[in-house]
Structure formats: C-alpha cells, structure tokens
Amino acid sequence: MLDPATLLTTAPMRRPPHRLLAAEAWSILAYRPASPPVSALPRGDGQAVLVIPAFLSGDALARPLRSMLRRCGFRASGWGLGVNWGPTPRILDGLARRLDALATDGPVALVGISLGGVLARNLAYDRPGSISHVVTVASPFLLPAATSIGPLVRLCAPRYCPDVDLARLRRPLPVPSTMICSRDDGIVDPASCWAEGGRVVHVSGPHLAICRNPEVVGAIVTALAGTSA
C-alpha cells in the first residue's frame, strides 16, 4: 500500500486555517450561486469529456457540472465507478477502461475534481494518446499535501495501489492542462494544486462547493472549448 506519509505533510504546505474549514461546512448548506448563463460561455464541438468526482463522492454530486457541459456542446460523462475512495486497484483499472471506452471516436478531455484531478493526471501519463486535455479543479497533486481531511485519507490509504508513481504527478503533463485552484480553499492548500507546465486559473470560493462555483464552471468550459477549437 501507499504509506500515508507520502501523501500527507504539514511542510512545506500548510493546512488551511480553521476559519476556512468552518466556511467549508457552511457552504454545503448556504452556497447556492446562480449558474452562469450558457449564452455567456464558449461552445464545444461535441468533444467527449470524462468528469472524475472528488474524494468520497460519486457521479451524483458532479451531475450539475456535467449538465452544464452538455448544454455548452460537450458530451460529458461520469465515471460510473461509484464512490471515489482514491487510487485503489479497482478504481485505477476501472478508470482506464472507462477512458478506453470513450476514446473510440478520438481523444477525451478529463475534468478531475479534487482527488479526481490527481487520478486524471496519473492517467494522462499512461495514456496521453487518448487524452486531449486535463482540467484539475482544487486537486492537490503536489504530494505530500497538507489537508484538513488527513484522517480520512489515512483511513483509506491501506487500500491504495502501491505502484502509483507520486513523483511524476509534479512533472508537466504530456497533454495540455489547466489547473484551477481557489484562494479560499479550506480543505487543501491551494499552493499544492498548481505547478509549472500548464495554465493556472485562480478563483475564489469554497472547496466543497467547487462544482457549483460559476467562476469554476466558466473556467472549465473555456479550457475545454479552447482545446476543441
């Protein structure tokens, strides 16, 4: 298994302050911004997009994002693997099979939410020919990372695949990439969510409601439309 010490740290990254963690809890109930109007967003050309959910979530929570992507002209799909527990052998194998199934008509764009973005980057190193773009959203791929949910990660870590190469996650991807990170993130240090080698987009807003954030939705659509243009 992966040693949790290779995933989690308190230095050089710093856990977000407690006030931001409190704001995250409040956002689950109170953060309900209006979706950006489709007419104000770029249009896709039918490109396939695979949306990978966040840690401990599944396709249901990302459904509004996929719906918006479809309204903007993309063929957005969920991953169909249930809850994202992290890089277990079942999830890594299933994600690769899901990509292969969608890539029969051409390269697929990946949108990974939080830990889903870490899985997206990992997959891009192995199958660059099947991927057109990787968009990571509040994804702490600069590991070890500092996070407020470290105990949950440690609980799941014994199930993780020991063959995951964490060091390469820091390297530039072999495909175009966009890294979206929030200044107000109360779950992970935003500094762990971007690196050299791609486009970085800084937004505001809570981590747990990131899929509902109109800034984020606009940034995702803009990144994907730029790839398909």
**For the domain that residue 190 is a member of, what is the CATH number?**
3.40.50.1820
Residue 115 has pLDDT above 60, yes or no: yes
Six-digit token string for 6: 């290779």
Number of structural domains, the chain?
1
How far out from the chain centre does Cα 9 lie?
20
> Which helix (H) or strand (E) element contains residue 43?
none
Note whether residue 222 is domain-resident: yes
| Percentage of residues in the chain having pLDDT higher than 90 | 61
Please, which pLDDT band fits residue 229 given cuts at 50, 70 and 90?
very low
Q: In the prediction, which pLDDT does 23 show?
A: 73
CB 181, CB 138: distance < 8 Å: yes
| Region for residue 125 given its phi and psi (left: phi exceeds 0; alpha: psi -120 to 50; beta: otherwise) | alpha
- Render pLDDT for 132-164 as a digit per residue (tens, 0 to 9): 999 999 999 987 777 777 778 788 878 888 888
Residue 12 has pLDDT above 80, yes or no: no
Note whether residue 209 is domain-resident: yes
Beta bridge partners of 134: 110, 177
Six-digit token string for 62: 């990302």
The region of weakest confidence among 6-15, 116-125, 205-214 is 6-15
- Render pLDDT for 63-94 as a digit per residue (tens, 0 to 9): 999 999 999 999 999 999 999 999 999 999 99
Note whether residue 33 is domain-resident: no
**157 or 113, greater pLDDT:** 113
Domain that holds residue 219: 4-27+38-228
Note whether residue 32 is domain-resident: no
